[in-house]
């Protein structure tokens, strides 16, 4: 089945630093979503992308839908302690197919 | 606030003893999903309902069943839980935007139920 390669698997950064993570796929997706999951909670939708090349921001978060439709990245600027968690990318081929999740990026922020 | 609610948040059951997890939503979304998430892994889709139409993933064990009595509620039944079924179970919803079974995206997740099997 389809798989998403999400990297890095984990990262440790200093508070205030910028963060970048990405997802790549061997096949095309027509929708990309980014979720954040805190320990013991469900994933929370951060950003949804629907068009190739689209760049969307949500506060300190910015995500882009790659022009090839096979990748997406998420940037977090000026990280703060509450950014700690696991970030998942998810892709969808078309409206009738389920989401395919990446394996997640575990972010740790050192104050 | 509109939301996805899961009860209970923590469930302990015995090996082989049937257990039911519940999910309710106030979003009035027509699609509801059940995912299984094991530690340090991505959510794995078990099945979903499009309105009353049930869609099972090919690799979902028969041990897992689901019911959706109305738009707001959906249940996950595990008929004979094994130790390997211990996991976080996540319910999610989405709204079909164009009425043609499209737009299975922008899924909103509940807080999850953590299942322990003794």
* Strands across the sheet containing A55-58: A4-7, A19-25, A71-76, A61-65, A55-58
Is the pLDDT at B104 greater than 60? The verdict is: no
**Average pLDDT of the residues of chain A:** 93
Please tell me the predicted confidence (pLDDT) of residue B95: 83
Please tell me the predicted confidence (pLDDT) of residue B102: 45
DSSP A94: S
Kindly determine whether residue A96 and residue B48, on different chains, have CB atoms separated by under 8 Å: no
Q: How far apart are CA B110 and CA B24, in angstroms?
A: 9
Q: Among all residues of chain B, which has the CA nearest to that of A97?
A: B104
Nearest to B42 among A31, A98, A103 (CB): A103
Is the pLDDT at B101 greater than 50? The verdict is: no
Please tell me the predicted confidence (pLDDT) of residue A13: 95
Q: Among all residues of chain B, which has the CA nearest to that of A104?
A: B42
A42 to chain B nearest CA, in Å? 4
Q: For the segment A29-61, what is each residue's pLDDT rounded down to a tens digit?
A: 989 999 999 998 999 999 999 899 999 999 999
Q: For the segment A55-78, what is each residue's pLDDT rounded down to a tens digit?
A: 999 999 999 999 999 999 999 999
Please tell me the predicted confidence (pLDDT) of residue A7: 96
Q: For the segment B44-94, what is each residue's pLDDT rounded down to a tens digit?
A: 999 999 889 999 999 999 999 999 999 999 999 999 999 999 999 999 998
b/e sequence B57-87, b meaning 16+ C-beta within 10 Å: eeebeeebbbebeebbebbbebeebeeebbb
What average pLDDT does range B5-16 have in this prediction? 96
Local structure of A34: helix, strand or coil = strand
Cβ atoms of residues A34 and A46 within 8 Å: yes
């Amino acid at each position: 089945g389809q798989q998403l390669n999400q990297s890095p698997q984990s990262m440790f950064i200093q508070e205030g630093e910028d963060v970048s993570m990405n997802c790549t796929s061997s096949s095309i997706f027509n929708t990309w979503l980014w979720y954040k999951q805190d320990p013991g909670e469900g994933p929370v939708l951060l950003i949804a992308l629907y068009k190739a090349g689209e760049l969307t921001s949500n506060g300190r978060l910015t995500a882009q839908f790659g022009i090839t439709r096979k990748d997406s990245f998420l940037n977090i600027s000026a990280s703060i302690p509450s950014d700690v968690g696991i970030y998942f990318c998810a892709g969808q081929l078309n409206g009738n197919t389920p989401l395919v999740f990446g394996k997640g990026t575990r972010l740790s922020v050192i104050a | 606030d509109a939301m996805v609610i899961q009860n209970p948040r923590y469930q302990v059951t015995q090996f082989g003893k049937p257990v039911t997890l519940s999910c309710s939503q106030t979003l009035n979304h027509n699609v509801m999903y059940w995912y299984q998430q094991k530690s340090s892994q991505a959510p794995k889709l078990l099945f979903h309902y499009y309105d009353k139409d049930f869609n099972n993933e090919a690799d979902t064990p028969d041990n897992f069943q689901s019911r959706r009595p109305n738009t707001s509620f959906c249940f996950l039944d595990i008929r004979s839980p094994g130790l390997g079924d211990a996991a976080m179970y996540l319910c999610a919803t989405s709204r079909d935007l164009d009425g043609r079974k499209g737009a299975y995206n922008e899924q909103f997740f509940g807080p999850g139920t953590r299942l322990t099997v003794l």
